[in-house]
Structure formats: C-alpha cells, structure tokens
Structure 1
Amino acid sequence: MDVGIRELRDDLSRHLAEVRDGRTITVTDHGKPIARIVPVDGPTRLQQLVAEGKVRPPLQRKRPARIPSKTEGTVSDLIGEQRR
C-alpha cells in the first residue's frame, strides 16, 4: 500500500493499525517511494525469499576476515619490491 507523507501524517493511527495487522506501507514523496513501514514481528525480506524458494541460504558460514599483516613503507614501495 502506498501512502503520501501528508496522508500518513493525517491518518497515522489508522496506518499504524494496518501495519500492526501485518500490512507493509510504502511512504511516498511526490509519488516516489522514500520509506517502508513494516511489522516488527514479520519475516525479513530474505526470510520471505527463502520461504518462496527464490533464494537459498548459504551452505557454510562466512569465514572471518584475515588479520592484516604489518608492514613498513607505502603500498607503492611494496609493489616496487615485488616487481624486482
């Protein structure tokens, strides 16, 4: 459901009651979507896509990033050393 800013402001209680009932409201400004009001307890968009079978959850957990190695000098110096 799309709702303009003025209409949202004027009928905020009614629109929030609709969100409470599970509906999602898209807030528009001059016809352009700018925000979305969604129920707190509802599934996330990713959860919806998984339930619809459109995406699959990852098979493995993401590995933590490596710890950067400590070096001295600039990146240009390091590249120059590797080219020699």
Structure 2
Amino acid sequence: MRESSVDIGIRELRDNLSRHLSEVRSGHSVTVTDHGRPIARIVPVGRPTRLEQLRAEGRVQPARKKKQPSPEPIHGEGMVSELIEEQRR
C-alpha cells in the first residue's frame, strides 16, 4: 500500500497547519520543503516507518553490536606526510 504524500513549503505549513495535520490524521503524509528541498516528513503515528516495514519483512536486521566509541586522537608533531614516511621506514 503506497501512502499519498503532498509537498509543502514552510510558510504554507505554518499558515495552514491545522489543515495539513488533518490530512496526516486521515492517513496522508506531508513532506516539508525549504526552497524546494525536502527537510522533514510528517507521517501518521500509527503507521510503521519504512525501516520498521523492512525489519518486519526480514529484509534488514538491527546491528548485532553497539557502535563502539572512536579511539582518542593521537597527537604528533610534524606534517602527516612526514609521519607516514617515518612509519614506512
């Protein structure tokens, strides 16, 4: 089932918010644009997201491990190219 969607600018959303939220309540989604570029989507709460649909279909799986934090940066002196050259010796 493909949901119907309408694209609206920020000013249009602000000026007619109640009307657009009524459309969302009836099952439509609204894509908000800024100078013609999509920046947000308002969708009905009860409907699963595309990611939730793909998970339910078994087409994607959640990550098995949590993302590990990045290591602390290493501070060195000199230019990167010099450091690389030194490591190659």
Question: So what's the TM-score if we normalise by structure 1?
Answer: 0.60
- SS of 1:34's equivalent in the other structure is strand
d(CA) in 1 for partners of 2:88 and 2:16?
67
Q: Which residue of 2 aligns with 1:34?
A: 38
Q: Which residue of 2 aligns with 1:2?
A: 6
Distance 1:54 1:23, change over 3 A: farther
Q: Which residue of 2 aligns with 1:83?
A: 88
**Stretches of structure 2 lacking an aligned partner (at least 5 in a row):** none
% of aligned pairs identical? 57
Distance 1:51 1:23, change over 3 A: farther
Distance 1:41 1:71, change over 3 A: farther
1:60 offset after TM fit, Å? 1.1
Q: What is the aligned residue count?
A: 82
d(CA) in 2 for partners of 1:82 and 1:44?
48
1:60 to 60, 65, 77: 65
d(CA) in 2 for partners of 1:9 and 1:79?
54
- Aligned-residue Cα RMSD (Å) equals 3.3
1:8 offset after TM fit, Å? 5.8
